[in-house]
Amino acid sequence: MDLQGLPRPTRRPSPALIALQFVHAMLVGVVCWGLAMTGAFIVAGGGSMIESAGVIAMLVLVLGAEFGLAAWLILRRRKVNRLIHSARLHLMARDSESARQALLQLFQYFEYRMNPAQVLFGLGVADVIEGETERALVLLRRAGNYPAAMQLRALISLSQGMITNASRLMSAVIALRPMRIESWVMLAACEQAAGRSEGAEHLLVAARQRWPRSFQIARALDDLRAGDSLAQALLKREMPQADPAVGDAKLA
């Protein structure tokens, strides 16, 4: 199953965290400048050592808070990346429950609460692995117009014989993200399953003009011209947990 829609490990903090750190650094800079000026006035005015030590202690505390925030951001990013890596490995191993636990922990971080589409897609994949397609559809719909979620919804619709819905979803995916070969092949499979083999061939020929060296497109075009079902091959490859006899009957 295509896992490209899952959250990706990052080497840099998110823009929101960068903005937070920038604002914090500006505030720390202002405070440090103020403390430095205060210390200078105390020294120039012959202030006591206690006053000077107090200013120095406050300056150290502020700088310590800044370094502490930087360390927290680094450790936070490492924890997020570990969770993402764990979820990917478990989904690849078809360990849906362990993947689900890792994905759910990502909701502890505000960037994934603000934009949960990638996590919802991953949870949907876990449900599909377990054969819980209806529960997966609920999660995938919550992901909105996220292309990976829409494509998985189309795959589920295709497995249920809802070819018109699958074709509509794949057309929308290509409109949002036209540079993915898999989407063109899947739309062609939907067209063939709907009895529009000429339309499917037209799509694949157009895709081959975009990617003349793509083995995937060339193989799909050969299978189509040979009369083989692209949809059945796609379902057996992407949803091996589905009952092939049921899928064949619905696509017949």
Over its length of 252 residues, how does the chain's per-residue pLDDT go in tens digits?
678 888 888 766 666 666 766 776 676 666 666 666 666 666 566 556 565 566 566 666 666 666 776 777 788 888 999 999 999 999 999 999 999 999 999 999 988 999 999 999 999 999 999 989 999 999 999 999 999 999 999 999 999 999 999 999 999 999 999 999 999 999 999 999 999 999 999 999 999 999 999 999 999 999 999 999 999 999 988 886 554 443 454 555
Alpha helix locations (H) across 94-146?
96-105, 110-114, 117-129, 133-142
Separation between Cα atoms, residue 179 and residue 126, nearest integer Å: 26
The reported pLDDT for the residue numbered 140 is 96
DSSP 178: T
8 A C-beta contact, residue 125 and residue 94: no
Q: Which of 105, 176, 146, 115 is nearest to 4 (CA)?
A: 146
Supply φ then ψ for residue 239, to 5 degrees: -130, 65
